[in-house]
Structure 1
Amino acid sequence: MKHLATFLYWLAAVFALALILVSFDYRFGRALFLATSLLPGMFCAKFFLPMALRAERRRVLAVICVVASTLIIEWMSLLLASFHTTPSENLMRAPFPGLFSNPVFILILLVAIVVPGELLSHYLKKKLSEERYVTFISDRRKVVLPIEAILYVESNDKEVLLHTQEGLTGRGPVFRNGLSGSTIGSSVFIGPI
């Protein structure tokens, strides 16, 4: 669900950018191609800007470098895609409207697309947090425990005892197939798994 929502968001973002380009008298096919060419710069901003914001030293310089490189990537990809889609008789004209050579406008487009994408990503991460479970057979019945409920694990040669926070104990066989014939001594694991 999380990956599908992210994919659908970026698909909608491309169509929104294409509609913005259509408003500048581009045909829809060309506008869609140009909007798709803007994705590398947006992904650059999405992945590198959080790293630059977490930099310990020279944070301001790192952010300025990421923003400048993203703007250059956006402008160059827009320029190359525009030249690629321009008919040969119109190559001597300006490749795209002057508004697209304005770095502030491109920065506004970047912020308008990347920031909601990040907000959606954080919302989905919170909402759909992946719960991890341990599944085993104890006394001939299937037991499913969330990892957070396990207090500690005891292990010996023949079985594993899982002690939970509620005071329950589950026992399961030792999985020898994954251990390649090695002998397991008695051990107790305390803390998070």
Structure 2
Amino acid sequence: MQDYKSEVIHLDNFGFYAILFLILFAVVIVFAYIISYSYKKSRNLKKLREWFEIVAGNGDGTEFEKFLEVFFAQSGWNVKKPTSSTNTSDFGVDLILDGKIAVQAKNYINGVTNKAIQEVFTGMKYWKNNGFPRLKYAMVISTSTFTRAAKKQAYSVGVILKDGNDIREALRKGLSKQWVKERI
């Protein structure tokens, strides 16, 4: 009788250790995935920072728009272009985020003037009536800074402004939608 009891206890211990092993194995797999994801995200941020420094202020608006498409997509936004062709008028809107935010990109060395604020604001109104009915906000994002007049006008009509230093800060801290939403 004693041998039977010790055998039952031994089988119970085996089941316990098997379950413990499976749990530990699952934890190791989860940690490996987290480390891999973190490393990939860190590499992507480094590549974006390098790309931004190459593009910033070189005057190539198309390349800056491509950068912003990737930048916003990696921040979690659904990014659309209002037109399918670069030869078609975009009416002052280069990108649309989540169907709600009209974005104009300015790859400048000098300060962006209030003309950009006027363009994105009226462009937002245009696209709201022509394919993006949920548009509610407008934003100008630049590699440089904004003139005093541009800041004043943007504040008065509710246009979000993001400059080169804001982009660098987002790339340093890590990408998220909050970077834009803090101004909404």
Larger RCO (CA within 8 A; separation ≥ 6): 2
What's the TM-score once normalised by structure 2's chain length? 0.26
Larger Rg: 1
What's the TM-score once normalised by structure 1's chain length? 0.26
